[in-house]
Structure 1
């Protein structure tokens, strides 16, 4: 079985999928799609992913886009360790936390949104302020949702943890103040010490080496 991930090293959504694959110890090959060169909107990538985005997963003759759809598939196909609980309430709470990031923070801070702000005349300082604003708003909600376990998911990472790691990486890259979020900082520290999370870190895939 060959699994191919269409991936960009600093894409948050791709980072989520790399974490999930590493946690489940599923081997895969990477096909690099350079977002800065706009390879995502080139005809060959659109032939695989009609949205012109990353990540895309090819597996068993199937093609799946959207990181959470990919992770949901992986969770069904390779159920250990499970990233979304089977208990209905725990499942709903996991999705609630994950969607704060994947539906509310990440989409409005995505590269294509930042490019559009640039086209509208918003300068770099304004774009950075925009980026941090949505992180801070989302993190305030997540801090209140975080329990007292080691991870967002309790004793073991879940889907919301998989989403948190890339967003914390981006927050630090944009020098977002994190003092108001001690639980998130502690959870992120526990996650970054996890071997699977470390294996998926963007620095391991950076073109700069």
Structure 2
């Protein structure tokens, strides 16, 4: 009978301790379901792809010949080089026609020069607008790419936070589980020691009564 009682104490913990340990195990298993299905799907969609891209290079590769000409003319028209050349040409034009007097090909008030300037302004305005439209397209593409990069970074960081929290919770649960198991085994060991001491005391008492009876 004593051996059976000792074996039961060593093999099976008490009901309260067993319930506590099972609850801890259930909590550890539930840590795998921290992410919502929507977040998991978003992570699966974004993670395999590299969203960082040189948007300008891609747009420039698809640009037509007219688009490239518009960009170059706009760059030239917005430079000091163009202003200096333009002022020099106007000065030379006015100077030559003023010097030639009656034989000038564009005498004062320089109607031909005004026509040339008006034509240049009429052509330059839509060219600049074309270049600005292309720049706006580039800016929108850059903004969209930045949004995708920021979104992926945000999702990845949130996922890392959840994983760190999950690992922290798992370690906490496992520590509690180990402590519960250690406490259960300690109680079993103490109970076993008490049973052994009680059995030895009983045997000693029986041994003391036996000579007295004899």
Question: Which TM class, normalised by the smaller chain length?
Answer: under 0.3
Instruction: Give the TM-score taking structure 2 as reference length.
Output: 0.23
Higher helix share: 2
Structure ID, larger Rg: 2
